[in-house]
Amino acid sequence: MSKQNVIFFDIDGTLLDDNKQLPKETKRAIQQLQDNGEIIAIATGRAPFMYESLREELNIDTFVSFNGQYVVVKGEEVYKNPLDVSSLLELTEVGLTHNHPIVYMDQEDMKANVPEHDYINRSIATLKIKQFPRHDPHYYKGREILQSLFFCSEGEEVFYQQRFPSFDFVRWHPVSVDVLPKGGSKAIGINKAIEALGVSKENIYAFGDGLNDMEMLSNVEKSVAMGNAEDEVKRVAKYVTKDVDQNGIMHGLKMVGLL
């Protein structure tokens, strides 16, 4: 069993600030950890193609994407957990009757089932990424869809949660939720990653801020919630650091004794 520490970082609100920028102190902290021989990994709800440049900038080749449904360790795919296709198609059909579109996502791309929708435009724009989902209502055919983005206002997901018990709906934007296989989480993805790495759970750390980080922070003993995290997220973490734009990553790493 390897004695190396592995530190998993969420992206939005954790590594990146509200402007989707990587603070200089955060980058310096990551480089220090790597110089010390630690393994740096990402655990995010984003698709891999949404943060390829960030991985290159930080020299990261181990990551958990789609909230745990797609795991790559040292550049090699080790785990995939796709959505059930028949349930996904039913969700698509029901959503269309309520003007709630969907975006299908695999590790390579994302496509929308409608040509245009304000909810898609508004939510995707906040990610400040180059890619934007083009229209392809049949993108699911012959592919493993690892996560979907479903677009509805806050509270409207309750209907779908009751109608589709095989899915989890996790809100990440006022007009959008992530659609995951029931029980899928970053925590499961992290477990798959550390199995492949041969690292003990005692050597795992995790930083996050969002509702989709709660399972991860609950299950990782040395967990750190960002100061900008929601109160319910802070309650499940072992430590709470400063805000992302107040050198929260550097401060948190010092809190847990890694720097």
**Token duo for residue 52:** 């390829």
136 is catalytic: no
For residue 105, list its beta bridge partners.
Answer: 110, 147
Active-site annotation holder among 10, 17, 168, 213: 10
Instruction: Label residue 252 exposed, middle or buried (CB < 10 Å: 0-12, 13-18, 19+).
Output: buried
Active site residues: 10
